[in-house]
Structure 1
Amino acid sequence: MKTVLVIGAYGMIGSGIVRALRAEGHRVIGLGRNRHAALRAFPMIDWFIQDLDFMTEPRAWADVLDEVEFVVNCAGTHGIGGRVEAELVHHSAVAALASICADTGIGLIHMSCAGASVDSSDPHLRHIGAGDAAVAVFGGEYWILRPGLVLGEGASAPGRVLRALAAVRLFRLTAFARRRVQTVALPDLADAVLQCLDGDIAAGTIADIVEAEPQAMTTLIRDLRVWLGIGPGGLPLHLPAVLLWPLALGGTVLATLGWRPALQLATLRRLSRDVLGDPAPWVAAGGDPPRPMARNLAMLPATSDTRAAAGLAQLLPLIVILLALITGTSGVASWFEREALYALLEGTGLPQNLRDALVYGTVFIQVSLGMMLLMRRTARMAAWGVITLALIFLVAATRVVPTLWFDPMVPLLNLLAVIMLGVIVLIALPRR
């Protein structure tokens, strides 16, 4: 039994590796930045809650690596955190980790990605390539694994985009038609880590972990439709880059508000180029060749949860934006129609100062909740606020103006719809 630190242990790749290590009897310690997500994923293992942005010096790793024999680095920003965070996570923190691992004799299995290079025109791949170079420069006992597009129960940002495209039932969407991709199943990638850990692969190995034959991106989307149980049919519709780039720009803007939308500029750049690697060095080093995509999908049946998640990925951003617009614009409309609100309160017998507080307070709360919904950190709190406010309106209106239930515009029934939207947001958004 070995003691292994897995960095990014609750991410898609990290969680698969944690499960594989535990299945082999190894002691696993996780490192991640979010305590709630960490304990939700693996409450049975020990955790270090740290932010790699602040672990860019070797001394920052000293306590974390105490008693650790191997480190598996699965951390990544997927281009979400901006250029500065990508530099810190993929290069500076990796260099500090590689330095102390080399000095202390700790084995380092570093998860890179196919195509990473310091000479890449893609900033994201360039940062990752710089981290790879740092690992190799510091030496010691290290392995650099470069997976292609990873297929698993979860999905990386590019994988979530492709699943969302495949999940549209009416249309058979195609995009990135000229692009080719080589995939690897998460279990195969976890097996590669175990082979390195067990000494079956020589230290210093740098290898792509990809299937032997590349697939056309359109073929992958078609096979994902079949995998999701939708079938290959549907009205053909090609999504041109001129449409996808503005959507990706919108996703990047949302990322500045704390959201993690799959479709961002960094993701689109990744999907707009071939995701290819050479499996020969890995096989020559003694590694088991990854299985082809068709076999991987056959061995990974899509559950109802997988299908629901793929469909919800298309709708959740729209639901959040819709709820924010309804809430915020209701506040603005209340400001311009405050005389009508005063008229409704006229017969309640409330003193003037309390009526003022109700009218102006309602406007302020609604506009504030609308703005809070657009920020990921406060979205769940805002959803609770929207539900609570709608329930208060519902009860108060029923007591004070019960005739609103029979109004042709059915405002109280509309409040029930708002409450349901808030409930959907609460269910779909994980706590952070």
Structure 2
Amino acid sequence: MAADAPTIAVLGASGLIGQAVALDLLRRGFPVAAFARRFTGAQKAALGAAAVEAPLVDLDARGLATLLAGRKVDILVNCIGVLQDMPGKGTASDAHGGFVSRLLSAMGQQGARPQLLVHLSIPGLAEDDRTAFSATKREAERLISGSTVPFAILRPGFVVAPVAYGGSALIRALAALPLRLPQEEASRPFAATDVADISRTVAFLADAWGQGRRDWRETWDVMERRPHTVGEVVEAFRARIGGPAPRWRLPRALLSLGARAGDLAARLGWAPPVRSTALAEMRRGVAGDPAPWVAATRLEPRSLEAALARYPAGVQELWFARLYLLKPAILAILVVFWFVSGLIALTVAFEAAVAILTAHAFPPLLAKVVTVVTSLADMAIGAAIAVRRWCRAGLLAGIALSLFYMAGAAVLTPEMWVEPLGALVKTGPAIVLMLVALAIFEDR
């Protein structure tokens, strides 16, 4: 790489595409500044000094200009996107159109220093846009096309990458189930994009920029030549991980119900892959024409099969696929377990719970107070586990309280360890289930 290689800022470098692009550009020898609101410990280790934590979407144009000027950025790669509004995550309109508007203003404040904007968007036609996600993505494209900055808008399809998040994680999970998607969804076009094709395109643009070309005003579909269908993509991943043969077809109504449940979970801070927007975008399909991109860059797109061959699957892929859809089930059952057990002890079983304590020398008033406090604690733990922000604390509190119950019972009511229904014996598996929930808590 030449000493005067352009400095590239990757915005949204903690995401599936942004992380892969930033790492590949670093391997190619480009100076890279990888920006994100926050990185995981593994991402910080991989990106090293290139990782820069900053609340990009929250900054105004002046703040963005100052941040970029400090890094002397030549090329900006915008990988920021919000599929559907979530509490505390910003809105799609602000993350797409609003942020791009501020970014363009910031680039205009850079003085005479020219900069290239590489923007990650979505394929398809504007008249087919049916969701806030696609409409705001298209609005961002219009803002960029109407500006005076050099730009290249890249429209990838379903992105295949070494890591999994969101839709790519869901495809893996479906591949681990003996199910087929409903026929209407399974037959939709779903062109794939090897994430390396995106970084190869950015590297091509960076090389041209370093050689002095400044007249970039391009919009390219970056995807395989022949689009697969959604069903074919799932089957390709099934073959990759050695998943079970599909024996049943998933009812369409159940898929729609799952999307509504995902919308509800999102209100509690979770990022489920099955949501109304994701389902609408899948039903719309993914297709485009990569010919202009191929002609301009002379890069041959990798097919889905070629992309998967570059990322061989190990046992970790199989474990992830099997656990991915179990995660919400595990958390949901823990929420019900804690909340309902506390509610029962506080209502229909209140007198029985008090009687157990009074039978072991507890004064009646103290027995009632202890029953109320422990019941409310159980319900609070269930409520905490349901909310993503408090889930980890709720799980740790659940483990601690379970151990306290077991130790207290061993001292006060040891006979409960051998009672017919084994109430205390079952506390051990519940603790293990909470440990499993902690182990798979992180999304990336």
User: Mean Cα displacement is larger for which, 23-32 or 263-272?
Assistant: 23-32
Residue 383 (structure 2) aligned to one of 371, 374, 381? 371
1:203 counterpart letter in structure 2: W
SS of structure 2 residue aligned to 1:250: helix
Counterpart for residue 226 of structure 1: 239
Task: Provide the rounded CA distance (Å) in 1 between the counterparts of 2:166 and 2:386.
Answer: 20
Residue 33 (structure 2) aligned to one of 11, 24, 29? 29
**How far did residue 419 of structure 1 move?**
0.4
Deviations for 1:51-93, whole angstroms, at most 9, x for unmatched residues? 34423x4213122102222211111112253897000001110
SS of structure 2 residue aligned to 1:113: coil
Residue 203 (structure 1) aligned to one of 200, 216, 222? 216
User: Mean Cα displacement is larger for which, 200-209 or 265-274?
Assistant: 200-209
Counterpart for residue 68 of structure 1: 73
Task: Provide the rounded CA distance (Å) in 2 between the counterparts of 1:325 and 1:88.
Answer: 36
Deviations for 1:162-182, whole angstroms, at most 9, x for unmatched residues? 2221111x4455551331111
Task: Provide the rounded CA distance (Å) in 1 between the counterparts of 2:205 and 2:414.
Answer: 70
Q: Retained in 2: the 8 A contact 1:122–1:269?
A: yes
| Structure 2 unaligned spans of 5+ | none
Counterpart for residue 148 of structure 1: 157
1:428 counterpart letter in structure 2: I
SS of structure 2 residue aligned to 1:412: coil
SS of structure 2 residue aligned to 1:145: strand
Deviations for 1:364-408, whole angstroms, at most 9, x for unmatched residues? 111111111111111111010111111100111111111111111
2:102 counterpart letter in structure 1: A
SS of structure 2 residue aligned to 1:181: coil
1:33 counterpart letter in structure 2: R
2:92 counterpart letter in structure 1: A
Number of aligned residue pairs: 428
Counterpart for residue 294 of structure 2: 283
Do residues 9 (structure 1) and 13 (structure 2) align? Answer: yes
Q: Do the aligned partners of residues 98 and 119 (structure 1) sit closer, same or farther apart at CA in structure 2, a change above 3 Å counting?
A: farther
Q: Do the aligned partners of residues 313 and 41 (structure 1) sit closer, same or farther apart at CA in structure 2, a change above 3 Å counting?
A: farther
Q: Retained in 1: the 8 A contact 2:180–2:250?
A: no
Counterpart for residue 435 of structure 2: 423
1:334 counterpart letter in structure 2: A
Counterpart for residue 84 of structure 2: 79
Do residues 94 (structure 1) and 100 (structure 2) align? Answer: yes
Do residues 181 (structure 1) and 190 (structure 2) align? Answer: yes
Task: Provide the rounded CA distance (Å) in 2 between the counterparts of 1:44 and 1:78.
Answer: 28
**How far did residue 106 of structure 1 move?**
2.1
Task: Provide the rounded CA distance (Å) in 2 between the counterparts of 1:29 and 1:358.
Answer: 56
| Structure 1 unaligned spans of 5+ | none
**How far did residue 234 of structure 1 move?**
3.5
Task: Provide the rounded CA distance (Å) in 2 between the counterparts of 1:86 and 1:118.
Answer: 19
Deviations for 1:342-366, whole angstroms, at most 9, x for unmatched residues? 2222254455554344211101111
Task: Provide the rounded CA distance (Å) in 2 between the counterparts of 1:89 and 1:286.
Answer: 29
Residue 271 (structure 1) aligned to one of 282, 304, 307? 282
1:17 counterpart letter in structure 2: V
**How far did residue 34 of structure 1 move?**
2.8
SS of structure 2 residue aligned to 1:215: coil
Q: Retained in 2: the 8 A contact 1:144–1:206?
A: yes
Counterpart for residue 326 of structure 1: 337
Counterpart for residue 129 of structure 1: 138
Counterpart for residue 230 of structure 2: 217
User: Mean Cα displacement is larger for which, 354-363 or 300-309?
Assistant: 354-363
Q: Do the aligned partners of residues 288 and 102 (structure 1) sit closer, same or farther apart at CA in structure 2, a change above 3 Å counting?
A: farther
2:253 counterpart letter in structure 1: V
1:282 counterpart letter in structure 2: W
Q: How does 1:407-418 map to 2 (within 5 A)?
A: 407-418=419-430
TM-score by length of 2: 0.90
Do residues 404 (structure 1) and 413 (structure 2) align? Answer: no
Do residues 392 (structure 1) and 392 (structure 2) align? Answer: no
Task: Provide the rounded CA distance (Å) in 2 between the counterparts of 1:41 and 1:248.
Answer: 35
Task: Provide the rounded CA distance (Å) in 2 between the counterparts of 1:28 and 1:84.
Answer: 26
SS of structure 2 residue aligned to 1:78: coil
Task: Provide the rounded CA distance (Å) in 1 between the counterparts of 2:321 and 2:45.
Answer: 20
Q: Do the aligned partners of residues 80 and 261 (structure 1) sit closer, same or farther apart at CA in structure 2, a change above 3 Å counting?
A: farther
Task: Provide the rounded CA distance (Å) in 2 between the counterparts of 1:323 and 1:114.
Answer: 40
Task: Provide the rounded CA distance (Å) in 1 between the counterparts of 2:102 and 2:193.
Answer: 29
Task: Provide the rounded CA distance (Å) in 2 between the counterparts of 1:54 and 1:118.
Answer: 30
SS of structure 2 residue aligned to 1:385: helix
Task: Provide the rounded CA distance (Å) in 1 between the counterparts of 2:228 and 2:197.
Answer: 18
Question: How well do the aligned residues superpose, as a CA RMSD in angstroms?
Answer: 2.3
Residue 255 (structure 1) aligned to one of 266, 270, 277? 266
User: Mean Cα displacement is larger for which, 399-408 or 156-165?
Assistant: 156-165
Q: Retained in 1: the 8 A contact 2:399–2:431?
A: yes
Deviations for 1:286-310, whole angstroms, at most 9, x for unmatched residues? 2402111111112221122222111
